Amino acid sequence: MRNPVDHDVQNVFRKRWSPYAYDPDRDVSSEQLKSLFEAARWAMSSFNAQPWRYIVGVRGRSDDIWKGVYETLVDGNREWARNAPVLALGLAELNYEHNGKPNRHAAHDLGAASASLALEAAARGLAVHQMGGFSVDRARELFDLPDGVEPYTAMAIGYPAERGTGEGELEKRDSKPRQRKALNELVIRGGF
Amino acid sequence: MRNPVDHDVQNVFRKRWSPYAYDPDRDVSSEQLKSLFEAARWAMSSFNAQPWRYIVGVRGRSDDIWKGVYETLVDGNREWARNAPVLALGLAELNYEHNGKPNRHAAHDLGAASASLALEAAARGLAVHQMGGFSVDRARELFDLPDGVEPYTAMAIGYPAERGTGEGELEKRDSKPRQRKALNELVIRGGF
Q: What is the mean pLDDT of chain A?
A: 96
Any CB–CB contact under 8 A between B1 and chain A? Answer: no
Query: Nearest chain B Cα to A43, which residue?
Result: B115
Spatial separation of the C-alpha atoms in residues B50 and B146, rounded to whole Å: 17
Query: What average pLDDT does range A37-60 have in this prediction?
Result: 98
Closest-CA distance, A89 to chain B, in angstroms, reads 10
Domains and CATH numbers, chain B: 22-161 (3.40.109.10)
What single-letter amino acid sits at B188? Answer: I
Query: For residue B108, which residues of chain A lie inside 8 Å, CB to CB?
Result: 107-108, 110-111, 114, 152-153
Residues, chain B: 192
Any CB–CB contact under 8 A between B96 and chain A? Answer: no
Residue A167: its pLDDT value, please? 87
Check B13 against A42: CB less than 8 A apart. yes
Chosen for mutation from A15, A42, A114 (greatest number of chain B CBs closer than 10 Å) is: A42
CB pairs under 8 A between A and B: 234
Any CB–CB contact under 8 A between A189 and chain B? Answer: yes
Write the DSSP symbol of residue B102: B
**Could you tell me if B61 and B128 are in contact, meaning their C-beta atoms sit under 8 angstroms apart?**
no
Any CB–CB contact under 8 A between A135 and chain B? Answer: no
SS3 B84: coil
Which positions ≥6 away from A187 have C-beta within 8 Å? B37, B53, B54, B55, B56
B22-39: b (≥16 Cβ within 10 Å) or e: bbbeebbeeebbbbbbbb
Any CB–CB contact under 8 A between B99 and chain A? Answer: no
Residue B1: its pLDDT value, please? 77
Residue B63: its pLDDT value, please? 97
Give the distance between the most distant pair of CA atoms in chain A. 53
For A133-163, the pLDDT digits (tens) are: 999 999 999 999 999 999 999 999 999 998 8
Which positions ≥6 away from A172 have C-beta within 8 Å? none
Write the DSSP symbol of residue B95: B
pTM above 0.95, yes or no: yes
Which positions ≥6 away from B157 have C-beta within 8 Å? B28, B33, B36, B84, B85, B86, B87, B88, B121, B126, B127, B128
Any CB–CB contact under 8 A between B143 and chain A? Answer: yes
* Among candidate residues B86, B89, B106, B185, the one with its CA nearest the CA of residue A152: B106
Spatial separation of the C-alpha atoms in residues B13 and B90, rounded to whole Å: 21
Q: Strands, DSSP E only, in chain A? A: 52-58, 86-93, 127-131, 149-158, 187-190
In order, the DSSP letters of B28-43 are --HHHHHHHHHHHHT-
Query: For residue B143, which residues of chain A lie inside 8 Å, CB to CB?
Result: 189
Any CB–CB contact under 8 A between A65 and chain B? Answer: yes
Give B54's strand partners: A187, B90
User: Within the 21-50 window of chain A, which residues sit less than 8 Å (CB to CB) from chain B?
Assistant: 30-31, 33-35, 37-44, 46-48, 50
**Residue A144: left (phi > 0), alpha (psi -120 to 50), or beta?**
left
**Could you tell me if A154 and A89 are in contact, meaning their C-beta atoms sit under 8 angstroms apart?**
yes
List, run by run, the mean pLDDT of 10-residue segments along chain B (192 residues): 93 96 96 98 97 98 98 98 98 97 98 98 98 98 96 98 88 92 96 94
Write the DSSP symbol of residue B176: S
Count CB-CB contacts under 10 A for residue B63. 12
**Confidence category of residue A1, pLDDT binned at 50, 70, 90:** confident
**Could you tell me if B57 and B65 are in contact, meaning their C-beta atoms sit under 8 angstroms apart?**
yes
Any CB–CB contact under 8 A between A56 and chain B? Answer: yes
Count CB-CB contacts under 10 A for residue B162. 11
Query: Nearest chain A Cα to B142, which residue?
Result: A189
Residue B163: its pLDDT value, please? 85
Check B50 against A180: CB less than 8 A apart. yes
Write the DSSP symbol of residue A147: T
Any CB–CB contact under 8 A between B183 and chain A? Answer: yes
**Could you tell me if B130 and A48 are in contact, meaning their C-beta atoms sit under 8 angstroms apart?**
no
Check B187 against A34: CB less than 8 A apart. no
SS3 A155: strand
